[in-house]
């Protein structure tokens, strides 16, 4: 999406550095992590109602975190890394 000046409002793209809050399974807390977007699955995202289930939803972005983990997230989960 672009604004009136022709600049993109989307901050997320393949290769972007992003920040995401993930749960720390050991401590039970949430921690902010940074990583790089490595894949965009926009074409594969489907409406949950169309598959007849609400578990295991398709996420838009694949992110390689700096600590080595691979996670999947949607636009609302991400912010630009600073």
Structure token digits, residue 2: 């672009």
Please report whether residue 1 resides in a domain: no
Please report whether residue 11 resides in a domain: no
**Secondary structure letter of residue 44 according to DSSP:** G
Please report whether residue 24 resides in a domain: yes
50 φ, ψ (degrees, to nearest 5): -75, -15
Q: What digits encode the pLDDT tens for the residues 24-70?
A: 777 778 899 999 999 998 887 766 667 777 777 778 999 999 999 99
Please report whether residue 56 resides in a domain: yes
Please report whether residue 51 resides in a domain: yes
Structure token digits, residue 77: 């989960």
Please report whether residue 3 resides in a domain: no
Please report whether residue 4 resides in a domain: no
> Is 21 or 23 the better-scoring residue by pLDDT?
21
Structure token digits, residue 50: 């169309």
> Is 55 or 5 the better-scoring residue by pLDDT?
55
What CATH number is given to the structural domain containing 41? 2.30.30
Number of domains in the chain: 1
Residue 70's pLDDT is 96
Residue ranges of the alpha helices (H) in 1-82? 48-51
Q: 10: pLDDT confidence band, cut at 50, 70 and 90?
A: low
Domain span holding position 25: 17-80
> Is 42 or 10 the better-scoring residue by pLDDT?
42
């Amino acid at each position: 999406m672009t604004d009136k000046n022709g600049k993109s409002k989307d901050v997320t793209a393949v290769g972007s550095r992003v920040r995401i809050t993930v749960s720390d399974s050991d401590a039970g807390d949430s921690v902010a992590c940074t990583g790089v977007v490595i894949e965009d699955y926009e074409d594969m995202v489907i409406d949950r109602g169309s598959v007849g289930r609400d578990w295991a939803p398709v996420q838009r972005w694949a992110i390689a975190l700096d600590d080595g983990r691979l996670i999947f997230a949607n636009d609302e989960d991400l912010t630009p890394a600073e």
